[in-house]
Amino acid sequence: GIQVEQSPPDLILQEGANSTLRCNFSDSVNNLQWFHQNPWGQLINLFYIPSGTKQNGRLSATTVATERYSLLYISSSQTTDSGVYFCAVRGGTSYGKLTFGQGTILTVHP
Protein backbone atom coordinates (compact mmCIF):
# COMPACT_ATOMS: atom_id res chain seq x y z
CA GLY A 1 0.00 0.00 0.00
CA ILE A 2 0.89 3.66 -0.13
CA GLN A 3 3.59 4.87 2.29
CA VAL A 4 3.47 8.26 4.01
CA GLU A 5 6.47 9.80 5.70
CA GLN A 6 6.43 13.04 7.67
CA SER A 7 9.34 15.19 8.80
CA PRO A 8 10.55 16.32 11.18
CA PRO A 9 9.18 13.94 13.83
CA ASP A 10 9.53 16.63 16.51
CA LEU A 11 9.76 20.40 16.35
CA ILE A 12 10.25 22.90 19.16
CA LEU A 13 9.69 26.60 18.47
CA GLN A 14 9.55 29.90 20.26
CA GLU A 15 6.33 31.83 19.87
CA GLY A 16 6.46 33.96 16.74
CA ALA A 17 8.71 31.64 14.75
CA ASN A 18 7.82 30.16 11.36
CA SER A 19 8.01 26.49 10.45
CA THR A 20 7.58 24.06 7.56
CA LEU A 21 6.34 20.51 7.93
CA ARG A 22 6.82 18.03 5.12
CA CYS A 23 4.85 14.99 3.95
CA ASN A 24 6.23 12.58 1.34
CA PHE A 25 4.08 9.87 -0.20
CA SER A 26 4.99 6.90 -2.35
CA ASP A 27 2.24 6.85 -4.99
CA SER A 28 -0.28 9.05 -6.78
CA VAL A 29 -3.08 10.33 -4.56
CA ASN A 30 -6.60 11.63 -5.04
CA ASN A 31 -6.99 12.89 -1.50
CA LEU A 32 -4.51 14.58 0.84
CA GLN A 33 -5.49 16.14 4.11
CA TRP A 34 -3.58 17.88 6.90
CA PHE A 35 -4.90 17.56 10.44
CA HIS A 36 -3.97 19.11 13.77
CA GLN A 37 -4.51 16.95 16.82
CA ASN A 38 -4.78 19.33 19.73
CA PRO A 39 -3.76 18.51 23.32
CA TRP A 40 -7.35 17.41 24.01
CA GLY A 41 -7.08 14.76 21.31
CA GLN A 42 -9.41 16.33 18.77
CA LEU A 43 -8.50 15.91 15.09
CA ILE A 44 -9.01 19.25 13.42
CA ASN A 45 -9.22 19.43 9.62
CA LEU A 46 -6.70 22.00 8.43
CA PHE A 47 -6.60 21.51 4.69
CA TYR A 48 -7.95 19.26 1.99
CA ILE A 49 -5.24 19.68 -0.63
CA PRO A 50 -4.56 16.85 -3.13
CA SER A 51 -2.84 19.45 -5.33
CA GLY A 52 -2.11 23.16 -5.44
CA THR A 53 -1.82 25.77 -2.70
CA LYS A 54 -4.25 26.94 -0.06
CA GLN A 55 -4.06 29.48 2.73
CA ASN A 56 -6.05 29.88 5.91
CA GLY A 57 -4.86 32.68 8.17
CA ARG A 58 -1.36 31.93 9.45
CA LEU A 59 -1.39 28.46 7.90
CA SER A 60 -0.85 27.53 4.30
CA ALA A 61 -0.24 24.28 2.44
CA THR A 62 1.17 23.28 -0.90
CA THR A 63 0.96 19.87 -2.56
CA VAL A 64 3.10 19.01 -5.58
CA ALA A 65 1.37 15.82 -6.63
CA THR A 66 3.76 15.05 -9.50
CA GLU A 67 6.69 15.06 -7.06
CA ARG A 68 4.71 13.31 -4.32
CA TYR A 69 5.06 15.72 -1.45
CA SER A 70 3.11 18.27 0.51
CA LEU A 71 4.25 21.09 2.78
CA LEU A 72 2.44 22.76 5.66
CA TYR A 73 3.63 26.24 6.60
CA ILE A 74 2.93 27.77 9.98
CA SER A 75 3.81 31.44 10.34
CA SER A 76 4.06 33.50 13.53
CA SER A 77 3.46 30.39 15.63
CA GLN A 78 1.41 30.58 18.82
CA THR A 79 1.31 28.30 21.85
CA THR A 80 -2.12 27.12 20.70
CA ASP A 81 -0.46 25.65 17.60
CA SER A 82 1.13 22.98 19.79
CA GLY A 83 0.03 19.42 19.16
CA VAL A 84 0.53 16.74 16.54
CA TYR A 85 0.22 17.47 12.83
CA PHE A 86 -0.81 14.60 10.59
CA CYS A 87 -0.71 14.24 6.86
CA ALA A 88 -3.08 11.62 5.43
CA VAL A 89 -3.48 10.45 1.85
CA ARG A 90 -5.75 8.25 -0.20
CA GLY A 91 -4.00 6.52 -3.06
CA GLY A 92 -5.57 6.25 -6.47
CA THR A 93 -6.24 2.55 -5.97
CA SER A 94 -7.19 2.72 -2.27
CA TYR A 95 -10.95 2.51 -2.18
CA GLY A 96 -11.91 4.76 0.71
CA LYS A 97 -8.83 4.17 2.82
CA LEU A 98 -6.95 7.19 4.19
CA THR A 99 -3.36 6.34 5.18
CA PHE A 100 -1.80 8.51 7.88
CA GLY A 101 1.79 9.53 8.38
CA GLN A 102 3.34 9.13 11.80
CA GLY A 103 2.87 12.81 12.61
CA THR A 104 5.03 15.78 13.60
CA ILE A 105 4.89 16.76 17.27
CA LEU A 106 5.03 20.56 17.50
CA THR A 107 5.72 22.35 20.76
CA VAL A 108 5.55 26.15 20.82
CA HIS A 109 7.01 27.84 23.90
CA PRO A 110 5.91 31.32 25.05
Nearer to other proteins, 41 or 110 (CB): 41
DSSP 34: E
Residues 6 or more apart whose Cβ sits within 8 Å of residue 100: 4, 86, 87, 88
HSE-up of residue 13 (Cα within 13 Å, Cβ side): 24
**Residue 88, interface with other proteins (CB under 8 A)?**
yes
Span interacting with other proteins, options 18-26, 55-63, 64-72, 98-106, rule CB under 8 A? 98-106
Tell me: does residue 59 bind other proteins (CB under 8 A): no
> Mask: binding to other proteins, 39-58, rule CB under 8 A, as x and -?
--xxx-x--x-x--------
